[in-house]
Amino acid sequence: MTDWNLRSRSNVCHRCAKPFADGEGCRSAVVGFEAPLVQELLAEKIAAQAKATKSAKPPDYVRFDFCKMCWRQLGPVEWISVWQGEYAAPEPPAPDPLPRETAESLLYTLVEAENSVEHTRVIFILAVMLERKKILIERRVERGRDGSVVRVYEHKKSGAVILVVDPNLQEDEITGVQREVDVLLDAPEKGVTRR
């Protein structure tokens, strides 16, 4: 079976290792693995694979991408295919609609606030959100003599312990509290101040 190993265009020139600029013209080409150019450009990688205990079968064909200057400097090569195009820089990743740090920092801000009792329902919803994202882990539930329920959460990475009062929210209350959480999370952008 033929292994073409035709990955997508590289972000750098395979010869000079200079990153391509957005819109820059570049040449792409496919050549057989046994070609001298492959041995020259991939010498370190080939040597590393040869030392590995499980040496993988090399591909039959390899794709290279070159800047215009390096393309002109190449000697004769028996290319299987050659094409030119413009490099398109990858789009930056879309921002997380609910960045973990924002929900996490809001939780800590509200827990440490003097009026944290006023935010019991919001703190509880934030803790549940972070538990679903596997940032917090519920370790145990403690019940007070007055019937109150306190959930003991541990931060998965830091090991910090957070005590969260369970406000025993009814199903019809959850949507309203979730809206309040959304407003607080958007506060810095929309000019809303946290109480």
Altogether, the residues listed in the chain come to a count of 195
Burial class (CB in 10 A: 0-12, 13-18, 19+), 41: middle
Which domain-ending residue is among 32, 65, 92? 92
Q: Is residue 43 domain-resident? A: yes
Query: Which pLDDT does position 139 carry in this prediction?
Result: 93
Give residue 117's identity as a one-letter amino acid code.
V
Cβ neighbours of 100 (radius 10 Å): 12
Q: Which residue has the tokens 């740090």?
A: 101
Work out the angle between the directed axes of helices 171-190 and 120-132 (0-180°, nearest 10). 90
Tell me which residue range forms the domain holding 14.
1-92
pLDDT at 192 over 70: no
More confident residue, 131 or 31: 131
CB 126 within 8 A of CB 98: no
Same domain, 7 and 68: yes
Residue 6 domain-assigned (yes or no): yes
Q: What is the pLDDT of residues 107-145, one digit of tens each?
A: 988 988 887 788 899 999 999 999 999 999 999 999 888
H helix or E strand, kind and range, residue 152: strand 149-155
- Does residue 18 register a pLDDT over 70? yes
Lowest mean pLDDT across 3-12, 34-43, 78-87: 3-12
Q: What is the pLDDT of residue 48?
A: 66
pLDDT tens per residue, range 42-94 = 877 766 666 665 556 777 888 889 999 999 998 888 888 899 999 988 888 87
The CA distance from 150 to 165, in Å, is 4
Q: Taking the chain, what is the end-to-end CA distance rounded to the nearest angstrom? A: 66
Long-range contacts of 186-191 (CB under 8 A, 24+ apart): none
Domain count for the chain = 2
State residue 193's pLDDT score. Answer: 42
Instruction: Please say if the pLDDT value at position 195 is more than 50.
Output: no
Same domain, 88 and 104: no
